[in-house]
Structure 1
Amino acid sequence: MKPTTLDRKVDTQNKSKISGVKAKKKWVPQHKHFEGSVGEGLGFAFKRKQKAKHEYIKLLRKEKKKHPEPKNVYKDEYPEHLKHLYLAEKDKLKKEAWAHRVNRSKVRMKHKGEEEEFHEADDPPQLCLNTEDPILEETETNLDPIQTTELSDKAQQSIPMSNRMRKKQQKKTSHQKTQEEFERIRENQRKKQEEYLKNKQQREEAIQKYKQKKMDTYQRLCKKTKKGQPNLNVQMEYLLQKIQRTDK
């Protein structure tokens, strides 16, 4: 039995694989710039789509390298079924820390008050006036009951502040510093602008005066006699005045 053409093709392919020789590429006509077409349906559109996708992913990778996202290292990650317990414990510890802080500040303020009383006891006694301030009475009477309750609540909530907390509150933030710097630069620019406009106005006025003076002298020297000749008397007078000014 003779081998068919299909058997021959399979044998040649197997031989090429065994020998390590690459199979020949498909022949493409010279007038074609790309492999395949719409009519033939050899996957040109799919290849173009894959290429565009690859370029887009490459661009995204480059952008990600340029602007990396900050990693939140201190993020608390709890298991989902125990999350409520962890959060409750966290709130409890926070409240305890706040209570200890308040107690410490109260004790500190109490000691401070005792020291002040001790110092006041050493000082000579002063006369106490029982007269009440009418302005304070008017302000107290004008206040609404809602405002008075709010003030009392605020007074109750107010906690004696330690020196550290006071310094922390007085310390300026970076935003406040930049805002102050911006205001200072703006003020300097405004002053420079005003000074420039003032100098410009003075310069223009001086130029105007100089031009007016030149015009007056020109008109004076251009005067002529009745016969149409230049008036030498006026010119001589002008020269004498000029010499006197230079002598001074």
Structure 2
Amino acid sequence: MNNGKHVHGKFQKKGERGYKNFIGNKTEGQGFADKRKRKIQHEYRKLLKKEKKSEVESTKHVSVLDELSEEEETPPDVSKQKSTKKSIGTYSKAHHEYKQRKKEKERKKQEAKKNREAMDAAIEKYNKKKQSNYKLLCKRTSKGQPVMKHQIDYLLEKIKKQKAKS
């Protein structure tokens, strides 16, 4: 039929290849060399990791041997007391840190509650004042005209506040 390759349900001509399955050729430069270089770097890093692990394990063995030699020098009762103190110390230290975090959390909670209550009180006060001003300013005469006395008093108070601030 067609002298192209079958790609994802469609035929494709030889010159219309969209991608390649390999890296590197003469036009791309050093594709194969780069791949080889990356492989060598990967192998080197793997080797370094293995050396670090073996180094850590050897230091662990050395530290265990040091502890054993120290235990032989000191009486067995003293070494047992040290180990129990250390385990109790780590537990009590962790417990102490836990209590401190809990106290800090509780303090922050109380502070947030106090701030929230203060904010609610301020909003309540603001709303009451706004409502009272609204009631005064909305008063009307029997004929439906606004009562100017209340509006003039409101403006006078406003001017006095501005004067006091500056």
TM superposition score category, shorter chain reference? 0.3 to 0.5
Could you state the TM-score of these two structures normalised by the residue count of structure 1? 0.32
Tell me which protein shows more helix as a share of its residues: 2
Q: Which of these two proteins has the greater Rg computed from alpha carbons?
A: 1
